[in-house]
Copies of this chain bind each other. A is one copy, B any other.
């Protein structure tokens, strides 16, 4: 209840802000139909489709994670991803797009002139061939999935109220600035760092934030002693499938057009995902004696994470190597290092996204080539060391931002509300405690409605009394 009251305050403020902004609506429309002629329909079709593909990744992530938790937490886990889709989309159209892609202010943040998408209208994207709104939609999905990735780290123990507040703040104060630095013309872009579809901005940022939070939050009760097995692996595979599927939009869509660059990103994504899957399965086959489907599902994600920053800069064969290495490195992070260091990153947000993203950012510095993307740069193996330096600096910046930012926000939220559920609630499971729902209703385990029309209840009672009268005599 206490949490709820705090929630109410937070939300009231938010809602007010929202309403205020809505008065500015008519101003939001400043279309310039003259320019519309330059839109390329093929590019637009591909970017819109890619936005839809990236959209499905976040609920997909919910299933990927949801299958891995114990059945008593399946809804909580899926809900975290699903609710983020909603909450951050609203944040994005109102605030996030402006902060990220508004006119750059000192390389640090976008001007707020585009708040509420003011002035976007039916415009064409600057230096682009697509409507700006298509870009808004595409980028919205990126802003959505990034915080969702973090949820794997603190699964099975965070309160929903604290979760929503934390994620909202994280999106505003960590994601939006970082995305601006790399993609919105900020200082990392000026430095020459390359990040095709979000190795730094998305995977390192979310993975490292996840690690920070899971350490601050502490281990799940019984971690290391009680077994915590995935309750529904087909669900996890479904999630991995939707993620892989959507990732084509993520990576190939980042070409912002339907061209050879998009095709290159598509092929490199597929080959990196595939080779990482093979690598992960083989390494665990050798190491543990069994090739597992959870390994295959984890492997493809590791490969996709690693290729993300590189997809539009490297050729297909290097992408095979990037994938193979990603499979081995992430497996080691998850199966060996985590056990050694003994933090409870429940679903390996750091092991897969943090580590995989770091490897991908480095790999971009190694194999990037202007033959693939003239707008890119040549990596170490193509004769230049400038890029790898820029990549390493950016990695450090991303780590620093993620650790410090998440730490501060976590402490801030903790000051106002309870962040972690009580032990008894953790034992009962968060689905019942936090959401009042169960994932799977056993036909046997029923219940009687306690709310409903008064007549219903009366009838039910009466029905029984008549029957039971003679008995109770």
Assess the B317–A116 pair: CB atoms within 8 A. Answer: yes
Least distance between A63 CB and chain B CB atoms (Å): 7
A453 contact from B263, B300, B340, Cβ within 8 A:
B340
Assess the B90–A271 pair: CB atoms within 8 A. Answer: yes
Task: Give chain B residues whose Cβ lies under 8 Å from the Cβ of A116.
Answer: 316-317
Instruction: Please tell me if A275 contacts chain B, counting CB pairs below 8 Å.
Output: yes
Give chain A interface residues in 427-473, CB to chain B under 8 Å.
434-441, 443, 446-449, 451-453, 455-456, 459-460, 463
Assess the B274–A85 pair: CB atoms within 8 A. Answer: yes
Query: Count of A residues near B, CB < 8 Å?
Result: 156
A55 contact from B88, B248, B261, B296, Cβ within 8 A:
B248
Contact A316:B117 (CB < 8 A) given known A292-B437, A372-B122: yes
Assess the A259–B131 pair: CB atoms within 8 A. Answer: yes
Task: Give chain B residues whose Cβ lies under 8 Å from the Cβ of A201.
Answer: none
A318 contact from B25, B224, B245, Cβ within 8 A:
B25
A365 to B232, CA, bound (A): 46
The secondary structure that dominates the A interface is helix
Specify which of A11, A317, A439 lies most central, judged by the most chain B CB atoms within 10 Å of its CB.
A317
A119 to B469, CA, bound (A): 74
A4 to B231, CA, bound (A): 28
Stretch at the interface among A46-54, A175-183, A191-199, A418-426: A46-54
Instruction: Please tell me if A396 contacts chain B, counting CB pairs below 8 Å.
Output: no
Give chain A interface residues in 79-121, CB to chain B under 8 Å.
79, 82-83, 85-90, 93-94, 116-117, 120-121
Chain B minimum-CB-distance residue to A223? B456
Chain B minimum-CB-distance residue to A232? B440
A289 to B72, CA, bound (A): 19
What per-residue 1/0 map shows which CB atoms of A215-237 lie under 8 Å from chain B? 00000000011110111111101
Assess the B41–A258 pair: CB atoms within 8 A. Answer: yes
Instruction: Please tell me if A389 contacts chain B, counting CB pairs below 8 Å.
Output: no
Least distance between A216 CB and chain B CB atoms (Å): 21
Least distance between A206 CB and chain B CB atoms (Å): 20
Assess the A93–B267 pair: CB atoms within 8 A. Answer: yes
Give 29 CB contacts A-B under 8 Å: A28-B315, A29-B369, A41-B259, A42-B258, A45-B258, A48-B258, A48-B262, A55-B270, A56-B241, A63-B234, A79-B296, A85-B274, A86-B299, A87-B278, A90-B271, A93-B271, A93-B316, A94-B320, A117-B267, A122-B264, A131-B263, A131-B264, A132-B263, A134-B263, A134-B266, A224-B453, A224-B460, A229-B447, A234-B440
What are the 4 tightest A-B residue pairs by CB atom distance, in nearest-first order?
A41-B42, A86-B277, A89-B274, A42-B42
